[in-house]
Structure 1
Amino acid sequence: MSTVASPSPILDAAGVAPDEALSILQTALSDADDGELFLEKTESESLVFDDGRLKGASYDAVEGFGLRVVAGETVGYAHANEISAAAIRRAADSAALAKRGYDGTAAEAPRATNQRLYDPVDPLLAPAFSDKIALLAEIDAWARARDPRVVQVSASLVGERRAIDILRGDGRLLSDLRPLVRLNVSVTVEKDGKRESASSGAGGRAGFEEWVAPERWQAQVDEALRQALVNLEAVDCPAGEMDVVLGAGWPGVLLHEAVGHGFEGDFHRKGSSVFTGMMGKRVAAPGVTVVDDGSIAGRRGSLSFDDEGTPTSRTVLIEDGIMVGLMHDRLSARQLGANATGNGRRQSFAHTPMPRMTNTFMEGGKDSQADMIASTRRGLYAANFGGGQVDITNGKFVFQCTEAYLIEDGRITAPVRGATLIGDGATALTQIQMIGDDFAFDPGVGTCGKAGQGVPVGIGQPSLKIGGLTVGGTTV
């Protein structure tokens, strides 16, 4: 019987002998196809400075484990927030019910990796708590001094230190320390009794040092203020079918939601994706290449290895308009005869892993945004997005634009309010007419939801011109 190759910081802290935990796990996994013991200890801190005062400060700490047994398509999973040998044994007994009457063969273990995409820093330690409060107060004062029309400012800092250990049945133990930070600024302006708000945020897998530098937070204040002032002058958006130019970076959230989920392996295993059966066929306009890559250093959606222990990698989903790949966890890869791509993710120890996006983006092209605008007689320039609704199984979407402008006779004219984009992802991919040379990632603010689980993700794209989208508005 295997022994643990390296110590487990989480098991050791809980007073559980790693070899005992391994023995329990190996008994549970006998005759099963796959499984693991996933251990987690997460500490997080959030500070909110609103309306000139510290409005909220919270600290949360959670720890626990989840034990999974996979037998064919049946998954047994049990979790607890008590890390002890007794709790692990009870979880193993429950999860092992999945293999009752099953005689399987252990799947090949994930390949080993030494990649480390972020430093094992603790964002909760620096800056000091008092310095974080002082920084938020400085942001508030600086934002109010930028423009006399500013009537309210909200700024927040969120930091997380997530330590995980993954113990596999062959005795291999993988440990990772995953920092995550975000700074967000929201500004409200008023003119002639009318108020508008806008926000800007940034973050990634690092400590706070980079994100609290003056040039960083001042740029966020200026961006939030710029958008809010634009919205003060906005007119009602006309409705109808028109060409749409999307900005670079964060507007990629539309394709992330409306298209990306359709390339996750579990939907194909169940036959419920609009792209099921389309491998090797054209699903997008020529020139469209879409990639998921969880191995980009420091990005919000990056992981040194996923929540099953598979190293993250670059996975091409669409190449020059042709569907060429899927995102897999170990279960969907095995069921579909493919290789796991490092996309097995879970929100926490209380959740089972499933195929999820990491950093998903469309690669750049050779067209300029100026040419996209100039070639549009009547359309909409959607520079930024807010919330939206998407049906994952068919890609139908409705997205609200937080910053948008009319395009008239090849020129950007009035900013508009109330603009929404309506369509479906599969059709939108085929209607892409121009692909920009200005690729950008989002600033590090994305969180993706699926089946009740939320995980941090990265998004990116160049400017795009899409023909014939339905624009919802308040006038005809």
Structure 2
Amino acid sequence: MNPRPEATACRAVTVRGPESQPRTAERAEGDHGEVPLATASWLLATALDVHRMAARLAAGQCAAGGSVEAVAKLVSRWISLSGDAVPLAGHIRLEALVEIRKPGVRRPLLLWQWSGPDPVEALAASLVRLERELHAVDRAVPLPEMFAGPVVLAPETAVHFVHETLGHTLEADNYRTYGAGCGLALGTKVSVPHLDVVDGPRAGLESSRPQDDEGHPCLSTPLVEAGVVGGVLTDAAEARRQRLPRTGNGRRALGAARALPRMSALHVARGTTPAAELIRSVCRGLYCRGAWGGGSVEEFFAVRPAYAEWIEDGERTGAYVYGFDLKGRKTSGLRALREVGDDMGVFNPVTGCGKDDQELPVSMCGPSFGFDRLHAVPIGRPRAAPQPADGGGALGGTAL
């Protein structure tokens, strides 16, 4: 049977420039006659509302010096939940992306991305945090040299760490080729006993689905239980090949010839340590926020935070750095995990997760992490690990 596409049509509006003179562009893909989408007039009006809030953020930054541009993009996308065997219902996925950047500067000061039912409400609820982040990133300087020591990850950065170290490694094809042999075999203790990770349907995570693209029910699959590897994400082919249970993780991108074992909705259980205590316990270290990307290649991982703040004697200093990757061996990073915070953040990104030239949406939620020691390596320095190949690399920005 021919593959059934996941995304069958979309309509997008992009707004850029100052609030007083916004410039709009519209784009459509796919056969809109067969699928429901948000109306063009509503999409344009909503995109203008999102841009208006973003432009005011940018104007506030402009008052501090320099010219700043706001760019807002809103997409209505029809997601077809149809597998090879069982046709399922579909739904409209709304995606919002906001960039605030200085003209001529390649790196955006701020990237906010979100998917869900009400982009205006979501952005309005995030404005105070985004203003703080814009202030921090604009004042950050490049990390001058490699740092190895205590690191605290905010929820959006911590779940990216889990996505790259555990999620990709425990996708069944990766597990077969290298995961089991690099220290993440089933039954292996890999981290602290208060680390619990599950992939599967969960309310609030936009990529939750009732069935995968092969028509199998999506199950709640424990990947790590009490710090011990407990599960592998499978499609039909890898389940047969490795004699593993099918978990409903056979997913394919639009136009792809075959399904692959892929993460969908990743959930990390909250811990018991107050998030503020993770910082108070650090003598000198980095508090990392946001996530501009990440990668997984065999036993190595990389996560790129949007920025970090120096911690001195248990206090945040107001000194910010950017332009670095957290990287190293997956097992070493997992064993360096000291505490799991009692907070929780949800991340429903617009940019997807890439693997074998297939990009798919993923969602994640989880708490802050505190590590005894991670390596922060300035971008452009000699790499301690090969370039990402087996997964990741497309995740970017923060929606928390």
**C-alpha deviation, 1:180, in angstroms:** 1.6
Match of 2:331 in 1: 426
Counterpart of 1:404 (choices 308, 320, 323) is 308
Secondary structure at the residue paired with 2:174? helix
Match of 2:343 in 1: 438
Task: Tell me the TM-score normalised to structure 1 length.
Answer: 0.70
Amino acid at match of 2:30: A
Which has the larger Rg? 1
In the TM superposition, 1:191-230 aligns within 5 A as: 197-204=109-116, 207=117, 210-213=118-121, 216-230=122-136
After superposing the two structures, state which structure 1 stretch, 227-236 or 252-261, moved more.
227-236
The total of aligned residue pairs comes to 368
Match of 1:231 in 2: 137
Amino acid at match of 1:198: L
Task: Tell me the TM-score normalised to structure 2 length.
Answer: 0.83
CA contact (8 A) 2:180 2:186 kept: no
Amino acid at match of 2:246: A
Structure 1 residues 262-287: Cα deviation after superposition (integer angstroms, max 9, x where no partner): 10112234456545772112122221
CA contact (8 A) 1:269 1:335 kept: no
Instruction: State the alpha-carbon separation in 2 of the partners of residues 228 and 458 from structure 1.
Output: 24
CA contact (8 A) 1:254 1:399 kept: yes
After superposing the two structures, state which structure 1 stretch, 306-315 or 224-233, moved more.
224-233
Cα pair distance change 1:450/1:458, threshold 3 Å: same
Match of 1:285 in 2: 192
**Percent identity of the aligned residues?**
26
Are residues 1:453 and 2:358 paired? yes
Cα pair distance change 1:278/1:123, threshold 3 Å: same
Are residues 1:61 and 2:27 paired? no
Amino acid at match of 2:320: P
Instruction: State the alpha-carbon separation in 2 of the partners of residues 137 and 199 from structure 1.
Output: 13
**C-alpha deviation, 1:305, in angstroms:** 0.8
Amino acid at match of 1:212: V
Counterpart of 2:296 (choices 368, 379, 390) is 390
CA contact (8 A) 1:280 1:324 kept: yes
Larger % of strand: which?
A: 1
> Relative contact order: is structure 1 or structure 2 higher (C-alpha 8 Å, sep ≥ 6)?
2
Match of 1:23 in 2: none
Secondary structure at the residue paired with 1:174? coil
Instruction: State the alpha-carbon separation in 1 of the partners of residues 170 and 108 from structure 2.
Output: 37
Match of 1:181 in 2: 94
Amino acid at match of 2:78: R
Match of 2:390 in 1: none
Are residues 1:333 and 2:245 paired? no
Unaligned runs of 5+ in 1: 1-35, 64-120
Match of 2:11 in 1: 45
In the TM superposition, 1:10-409 aligns within 5 A as: 36-40=1-5, 42-52=8-18, 53-61=22-30, 122-125=36-39, 128-147=42-61, 148-149=63-64, 151-168=68-85, 173-188=86-101, 197-204=109-116, 207=117, 210-213=118-121, 216-237=122-143, 238-271=145-178, 273-275=180-182, 278-293=185-200, 295-391=201-297, 393-394=298-299, 396-409=300-313
Amino acid at match of 1:289: D
**C-alpha deviation, 1:235, in angstroms:** 3.8
Amino acid at match of 1:264: E
Secondary structure at the residue paired with 1:423? strand
CA RMSD of aligned residues (A): 2.9
Cα pair distance change 1:400/1:312, threshold 3 Å: same
Instruction: State the alpha-carbon separation in 2 of the partners of residues 401 and 377 from structure 1.
Output: 21
**C-alpha deviation, 1:388, in angstroms:** 3.2
Instruction: State the alpha-carbon separation in 1 of the partners of residues 240 and 280 from structure 2.
Output: 49
Instruction: State the alpha-carbon separation in 2 of the partners of residues 323 and 152 from structure 1.
Output: 46
Instruction: State the alpha-carbon separation in 2 of the partners of residues 130 and 286 from structure 1.
Output: 49
**C-alpha deviation, 1:296, in angstroms:** 1.7
